[in-house]
Structure formats: structure tokens, C-alpha cells
Amino acid sequence: MNDETIICRCEDVTHKEVVDAIDEGYTTLDEIKRKLRCGMGACQGRTCMRLIARVIKEKTGRRLDEILMPTSRPPEKPVPLGIFASYEVASKNARNCDATESVKHFPSNLGNAPHFRRCKANNSEAFSEVKNE
Amino acid sequence: MSDVAIIGGGINGCALAYELAKKGVNATVFEKGYLGSGATGRCGGGIRQQFDTEDNIRLAMESVKIFEKMEKELAYDIEYEQGGYLVLAHSDDETERFKENVKLQKSLGLNVKFMEKDEIHALVPILDLEGAKAVGGTFCQTDGHANPFRVTEAYAKNAERLGAKIKTFTEVKGIKKEKTFEIITEKEKIKADVVVNVAGCYSKNIAEMVGVKLPNKPYRHEILATEILKPVLKPMIISFTDGIYFCQHKTGQIVGGIGNPDEPSGINPSSSFWFLEKMAKTITRYIPVFKNLNVLRQWAGMYDVTPDARPILGKTKVENFFVACGFSGHGFMVAPAVAKGISNLITDGKTSIPIDNLSIDRFKKGIVKKEGAVVG
């Protein structure tokens, strides 16, 4: 790994940027996420968080199990707003239950829905599709 | 020993530390998590001056003056953009009320106007006015948004450069009041002449430590962010009828939230499916092309709400114990002005920033004019 190695592919964050943030005093994943936006892109940290945890470990000497992962936010995968907008099954029960609970009510074949597609880091292409509809 | 102990490391705590440090006051910030880990880091980053009470309008206008110069003053990119706020009206009643608001706002010097449907369409062509059931709206170009993490960091770094101390991951467990204050944390006890409570939804608990009762209640508010896309939306769009707000940040994502009128009071950072569904249904009604836009994540934060939805600022019955809390969802946007005002109060006993009417004493007198322009 060198300075220019990309650690967060969604937001183009390099190894050096992570090291600099740690040197600046940001030694938790939560802080680094908010400072550099890594983990805020399409993959929501699936790729970068473990790598960054390793850099923190190397820089601070802390054990990996002491380095807490940021809270995982719903939805599990990127999902188009239109899917939630057309979701009719949600009953009044969904109102106060938390998202993890309501996932149980969710169609399990969501990943195969025709308009479900992988989100691109810079979605100008996807948006022109949207506009052409 | 510290001259001023600031409890809470959100935007208000960090801005205050900076303003005090600039005056040569020795200030220490106590933050139980990382900077901005509470409401600041969870907010939408909107900066609005279109309120319907005079005090809130004045305070927000002072704040915008500071935001406009902030990147230069703090030498930091805060991703500030004055794309304006478009407040949609959905009925004749609302139109009347908004026209009254515009009169008041204009009398205070705000550049704001009522827009008919065709003007709105020209301003935001992707907005479907039929779908949104909007009949008009008000627009103020100098409203806008900034990145809350960056603003907080900009203030914190500059405060530290000027000598302030910032203690993150340091929870205040108690406050002893004798001749001076003693701030008790897990690691140490630190004396301070003055304490400022800027602890957001925990302000009530902090105030209780010195016997000050606050009428504030915490309410969860939820928000989501989409994938990033090229610039398509200039202004922040809000509606008090639907309780929705959303805008496109400089980094490209659409960020927005919608209120749940049945939300019970309490500290609850969890995400609900109700919100996701309601938000998706409403935002795609406003901007139908957003239906193919991916939601990346949703999260929640706390509004620290007062009975009149206006902040509580200034002195309390306990000498040298100040509060700046109860922002009711507007803490980020007014923080720069509040920090100036409170720092003046601490060093000079008075301030030209219009916060006098917002002291806690107003609730005793029973003159409560409720802020109606609350969203989210």
C-alpha cells in the first residue's frame, strides 16, 4: 500500500488522506467517515471500513476488536426511492417499529427487481436515463 | 482551571469556543462523543432566514452574515452554498399567512418574495407543482446550506489554534456549584468560573445538575441521503403542510427529511421504515424523476424542542450558568450568531445580537409567540 492507494473507492479517498486524518487526531472510524466521507458512498463502507480499521490499528497500536464499526444504516443496499414509494404493504404497524424489524415485511426478491441496479459513484449517466423516461 | 466550561461539542459549543478564544478567554469544550456526534452531525445542514417570529428572523439574518464570510475568516472550505430556500404554500390560507410573513421579513431587511406558480416553475423546472399540490411559495436567495461536519471542524480547529481546549469522549457526570463550578468527568474534575450548557437534547439533564429546570423535550427526527448525482436542484425545498425538506448538497447527494406528527418524545436514534416510506412517497410526488434515485442510508437525530419552538439563550437563575439550547431543529443555522451573542454576554454582560427576548424568563411572563415555521 502506498500513499496514493485508494482505500475508499466510492469517494476516492487515498491511504495518505486516512493516515493524515489519524495524525490529526481522528482515531475512530466514525470520525474518519465524517471527515473524509469514506463509508458514505454507494457501498456504505463495506469495502473501506475494514481497511481503515487496519490503518488505525497500525498507527495507534489499538487492537482491531477495540476499533468500533460505525452504525450500519438502512437500507441494506442502495434502493430506488420509487420502490419505497410504491410499497403498499406497510401497515400502521410499521409506523413505530424499527427498520430492522420492518425488513421482515419486505419483499425478499428486492435485489432482483427490474429497476434495481448498482449505483454508480457519479451518477450523471443514471440520471440522464431518469430524465429520458 | 478554565474560565469557561462549554458542555457540548456540537456546532454551538465549537462556535462558542472559537468566539471566546478570539477574545482571549480560556475555554474548554466537554464532548461525550466526537465533535458533532449529536444533532449537529445528523442535521440537514440547511440555513434559513424565513421564519415567522421576529427574533428568529433577526437571529438567522445575523447568522447568514457570518456564514457569508466564514470560509475566509476560518480559512476552511465549509461547502457553503446560497441556493435559496423555496417554501411551498398549498392553500389560500397558507398563501395569506406567507404573504404576512414576507411583509414581516421584508420589514427586517430580508430579501424575500412571494412567487406564483410560473415563477416557481422557472426556478425549479424539475419540481412538479401539481404533484406537490402547491399553489405558490416564498423564496429567499440568501438562504442556503453548508456541511455541518466541516463548519464544526472549522470552528474547533480555529478555537484550538487560539488556545481553547477541546476534550472529546469526555462525558460530564456532574457539576458542583460552590464559589466557582467544578465539572466532574470520569477522568478528572476541572474548575470553571462560567459554565455554558450547549448539550442539545441533553441540555435538560445538564441544567438539572445545577438545579435549573428547562421546559425542553427531545424528539426524534429522521433523514435520508441518496446517491450523488450532477447538480439538478438549486434551492432547498420545504413545506410546512407536508413537513418535508430536501436539497442537493455540494457533494451531489439529495438529503432530506419529513416529520412524523405522532412521534413520541424521547431520545431514540433508531431508524423507522415509516419514515422511509413516507419520505419516498412524498419526495417522488414533488419530483417524480427521483423515483429511480437510490437511497443510500437513513438515520435519525434529536430536535431539542421548547414550548414555543424558539431557542433558550442566555443567563439562568444560577449565576454564571448560561444556556444556549432548545433550538427546536434550527441549532446549526443560528449557531454563528448565537456564539457571538453568548460570548458577548459572558465577557461584557450585554450583546448587540438580538437574543434578549429569548432568555428563559420569557416562559414565566407567559408571553409565548410560537414559531410556526418548523419543518422535518
Q: What is the pLDDT of residue B367?
A: 62
Per-residue confidence at A44, pLDDT binned at 50, 70, 90? very high
Of B25, B2, B104, give the one whose Cα is nearest residue B60.
B104
Q: What is the pLDDT of residue A89?
A: 52
Find the distance separating the first CA and the last CA of chain A, reported in whole Å. Answer: 43
Q: What is the pLDDT of residue A130?
A: 39
Residues of A in contact with B272 (CB under 8 A): 94-99, 102
Q: How far apart are CA B304 and CA B215, in angstroms?
A: 10
Tell me if A85 and B227 make a contact (CB, 8 A cut-off).
no
Q: Is A13 on the interface with B (CB under 8 A)?
A: no
> What is the mean pLDDT of the segment spanning A10-36?
96
Q: Is A62 on the interface with B (CB under 8 A)?
A: no
Mutate one of A81, A83, A117 to test the B interface: name it (highest B CB count within 10 A).
Answer: A81
Query: What 3-state class would DSSP assign to B269?
Result: coil
**Alpha-carbon torsion, ordered B44, B49, B52, B56, to 10 deg:** 90
Residues of A in contact with B262 (CB under 8 A): 95
Tell me if A131 and B226 make a contact (CB, 8 A cut-off).
no
Over the stretch B335-350, which tens digit does the pLDDT of each residue have? 999 999 999 999 999 9
Q: How far apart are CA A99 and CA B320, in angstroms?
A: 44
The pLDDT of residue A106 is above 80: no
> What is the mean pLDDT of the segment spanning B155-167?
98
Q: What mean pLDDT is reported for chain B?
A: 96
Q: What is the pLDDT of residue B376?
A: 77
Tell me if B294 and A79 make a contact (CB, 8 A cut-off).
yes
Compare all CA atoms of chain A with the CA of B300 and give the residue at the minimum distance: A73
* Beta-carbon contacts of residue B315 (< 8 Å; ≥ 6 apart): B321, B322, B345, B359, B360
Compare all CA atoms of chain B with the CA of A29 and give the residue at the minimum distance: B34
Over the stretch B52-96, which tens digit does the pLDDT of each residue have? 999 999 999 999 999 999 999 999 999 999 999 999 999 999 999
Share of chain B above pLDDT 70, in %: 99
Over the stretch B23-60, which tens digit does the pLDDT of each residue have? 999 999 999 999 999 999 999 999 999 999 999 999 99
Whether B155 and B11 have beta carbons less than 8 Å apart is answered as yes
CA distance B221 to chain A (A): 13
C-alpha cell read off for A71: 452504525
Q: A91 burial class (0-12, 13-18, 19+ CB within 10 angstroms)?
A: exposed
> What is the mean pLDDT of the segment spanning A65-81?
93
* Beta-carbon contacts of residue B368 (< 8 Å; ≥ 6 apart): B307, B308, B362
The pLDDT of residue B218 is above 80: yes
The pLDDT of residue A103 is above 60: no
Q: How far apart are CA A6 and CA A43, in angstroms?
A: 14
Q: What is the pLDDT of residue B73?
A: 98
C-alpha cell read off for B308: 414555543
The pLDDT of residue A20 is above 60: yes
CATH number belonging to the domain at A6-66, selected among 1.10.1270.20, 3.40.50.720, 1.10.10.1100, 1.10.357.140: 1.10.10.1100
Q: How crowded is the C-beta side of B245, counted as CA atoms within 13 Å? A: 26
Q: What is the pLDDT of residue A115?
A: 34
The full set of domains in chain B, from first to last, is 2-46+148-216+307-365 (3.50.50.60), 85-140+218-305 (3.30.9.10)
Q: What angle do CA B76, B80, B86 make, to 5 degrees?
A: 170
Whether B256 and B247 have beta carbons less than 8 Å apart is answered as yes
CA distances from B78 to A77, B42, B153 (A): 29, 16, 9
Q: Which residue ranges does chain A devote to CATH 1.10.10.1100?
A: 6-66
Read off the pTM: 0.90
The pLDDT of residue B169 is above 70: yes
